[in-house]
Structure 1
Amino acid sequence: MPSLVTSSLPFSPAELSFIHSSLTLLPPIRPDGRTSRQFRPLTAETGVLPAVNGSAHVGFEDGSEALVGIKAEVEKTKYSFSTSSNDSDSGHVNMGDAPNGKNMKGQQDWVSLSLDISGTRDDDPTLAFLSEMLREALVAGNVLPDRLVINSRWHWKLYVDILLLSQFSRSSLPLPLLSLTTHVALLSTRLPRLKSEEEEDPLFDDDWEASQFLYPRSQKASAEVATVKPPITLLTAQVGKNVIFDPSREELAVAESVIAVSIGPTTAKTPSPSGLSILAVRMIDSAARDTFPGVPRDSDSQPQGTQVEGVWSPPKGGIKRPFLKTIMSESLDVAAEIMRDLKGFAG
């Protein structure tokens, strides 16, 4: 995947060398003073849009902000999925009616996601890449689609509309902002309470106060709390031996590798202590590879291709597997902490 940020970054080789040297220290010194796992301060609010089932507005300290609206409508199920895991893996569809909605499996196309970024075309590859990455996390493991089942003949169709209110090229990649805004909006999403019986045509309570959250709030065990949380996608950057979470534009300009990690509730029989698992990992080409190298003062005496300390040189090669494993492990811890903190924003 090509770099998602502009290649003409306004940083000189001297600036790039200084930023890279600061970030390779142990612990790293980030340009804005954050720790390696610390996110930018944000403000979040829910219920900002009328006539929707859920909405959220999130803004970062650097001025970037996003708006998400979620609308749900009842749709008739054309066919039912087989409850057998083997049939599900092979793509087999059971055309028979399921005995009740509890045994139904959701379908991934029940979740529709659209992303709008000001100044970009609808067929822009960056837009398509970000949209699919966000939707991939929502439908992974079928956790969200399974929650949309009403009975064997009816289900909810969820429409997630995301609007980036700021230009992403002016700061950092918008992926963390878009993911966190979608997460908060899903936490605040309500569905009308069902009054009809299991296999009857759905009849709902008109009282909105009686509506139920798409992701229930009260749980008994801490492990269960994580299993009912919407997924999030974290953006990480490798600089030296350090893992930088929520990298800024300056940090992306010198990152040796940029990795997007989607994390959500686990579907394993033996869940982790946090109840979370890795849903997807995507590599993004670092903008640092498009920068120009610095020129040593004694360039004539240095062999061509030699790395000189203190002189900027674009990174080469990829990330090693042990370090990728470290990133995934740290991402699980950071995601669990973020989900606990964002719980208070949902109204």
Structure 2
Amino acid sequence: MLLSPAEKDYLYSSLSQSQIIRPDSRSIQQHRPLEATTSFLPGSNGSARIRLSDGSECIISIKSKVITFDPKAIPNFIDIDIDIIGYRDDSNYVTNLKFQLLNLLQQNFPHDLLKLTSRYAFKLFIDCVIISHTSYPLGLISLGIYLALKTLKLPLLISDTDDAEVAELPTFSDDWDNARSLSEILVSQTKDTNTIFQPPIFIIIGVVGNNLILDPSVEEEQVLENGLVVSFYEGRVITPITNTNFAINSSNSNYKGLSKNMLINSIAVCNKFCPSIIKALDMLIEQEDDTESSVF
């Protein structure tokens, strides 16, 4: 929804004052209500369906394939494809989203979890379908990928893991009940039962005046002075942190340089509130029933 100049001016004033007033009455660091379902696609190793209160919806499907790899080369065990209704697959918008997600996962994913032997490994193919969206969808996709990776199941290897001298194809158990999650694989490798696999995520933050707005809506995106995409992994903010114009369908003339203090404040905000987001997502996964559940 495009705002008129008068509406933009009023909204900018509401968001830049010390006592902030957001259009949907959320607090300054409150995420939009979200519903999600996991493990609902029988043909996938992991899947998630995630929806926001504004009608934005994303479906994530992850499938695995056994590949050969060069132990001396940089691991390339993850591939991502994004399909957004209304956009060409080779458009700059889709390509940029894909690059950011792929870069985040390739740089911060424990690739050893996918290695089967010295020659073979699983490669994950992550398909993201954006059914509908109004605001910048990167955060929505990232949370969906988090849920899909956390519920991912890989077949149990029953053949020998040492194939350095003997060329042997990996053999897996036919019983899907023996399939293991990435968290279970991590525990078996580290021998530490307290170790938990948590994929990295992106957090979207809008800057208006001296205020930082978590998960800005489509109306708020049209008056932002800066849009920050912050990476969060293993309980802390990591690189990359990028500055992006979220309002691609609106002429936003408010954009200006980002001060060092606002960047530092955004890191502090993410370090404070992102653990709660991770905890809410993990609580959904731990629920016994498979019905749709609200996590925020």
Q: Above 0.5 in TM-score? A: yes
The one of 191, 196, 199 aligned to 1:230: 199
Aligned AA for 2:198? K
Tell whether the 8 Å contact from 1:195 to 1:204 is kept in structure 2 after alignment.
yes
Larger radius of gyration: 1
Contact 2:224 2:255 in 1 (8 A): no
Distance 1:159 1:325, change over 3 A: same
Tell me how far apart the structure 1 counterparts of residues 21 and 213 of structure 2 sit (CA, whole Å).
11
Q: Which residue of 2 aligns with 1:320?
A: 259
| 1:17 counterpart = 2:9 | yes
Residues 161, 144 of structure 1: CA spacing in aligned structure 2 closer, same or farther, 3 A cutoff? farther
Tell me the secondary structure at the aligned position of residue 30 of structure 1. Answer: coil
Match of 2:32, as an amino acid? R
Taking structure 1 as the reference length, what is the TM-score of the superposition? 0.74
TM-aligned CA distance change 1:236 to 1:318, over 3 Å: same
In structure 2, distance between residues paired with 1:248 and 1:164 = 17
Pair 1:205–1:288, CA change in 2 (3 A): closer
Determine the C-alpha separation between the residues in 2 that align with 1:287 and 1:117. 16
**What corresponds to 2:98 in structure 1?**
131
Gaps of 5+ in 1: 1-8, 82-92, 94-105, 266-273, 293-313
- Equivalent residue number for residue 188 of structure 1: 151
Please tell me whether the aligned partners of residues 2 and 219 of structure 2 are also in contact (alpha carbons under 8 angstroms): no
Partner SS for 1:183? helix
From 285, 296, 299, the counterpart of 2:245: 285
TM-score, structure 2 as length reference: 0.87
- Among 172, 176, 185, the alignment partner of 1:204 is 172
Match for residue 147 of structure 1 among 80, 99, 113: 113
Q: CA RMSD in A?
A: 2.2
> Is 1:156 aligned to residue 122 of structure 2?
yes
Partner of 1:38: 30
CA distance in 2, matches of 1:286, 1:67: 21
Shifted more, 211-220 versus 146-155: the winner is: 211-220
Report if the CA contact (8 A) 1:57-1:68 is conserved: yes
Q: What's the counterpart of residue 173 of structure 1?
A: 136
Partner Cα separation in structure 2 for residue 117 and residue 337 of structure 1 = 29
Aligned to 2:43: 51
The alignment partner of 1:203 has SS state of: coil
Secondary structure at the aligned position of 1:285 is classed as coil
Whole-angstrom distance in 2 between the partners of 1:192 and 1:212: 6
CA contact (8 A) 2:56 2:131 kept: yes
Structure 1 contact 67–163 (Cα < 8 Å) conserved: yes
1:24-103 correspondence runs (5 A): 24-77=16-69, 79-81=70-72, 93=73
Q: Distance in 2 between matches of 1:208 and 1:289?
A: 46
CA contact (8 A) 1:138 1:144 kept: no
Displacement, 1:279?
3.1
- Is there any run of 5+ residues in structure 2 with no aligned partner, and where? 287-296
Of the candidates 233, 236, 245, which is equivalent to residue 214 of structure 2?
Answer: 245
- What one-letter code is carried by the residue in structure 2 that aligns with 1:173? Y
Q: Give aligned-pair identity as a percent.
A: 32
Q: Distance in 1 between matches of 2:183 and 2:5?
A: 48
Contact 1:278 1:332 in 2 (8 A): no
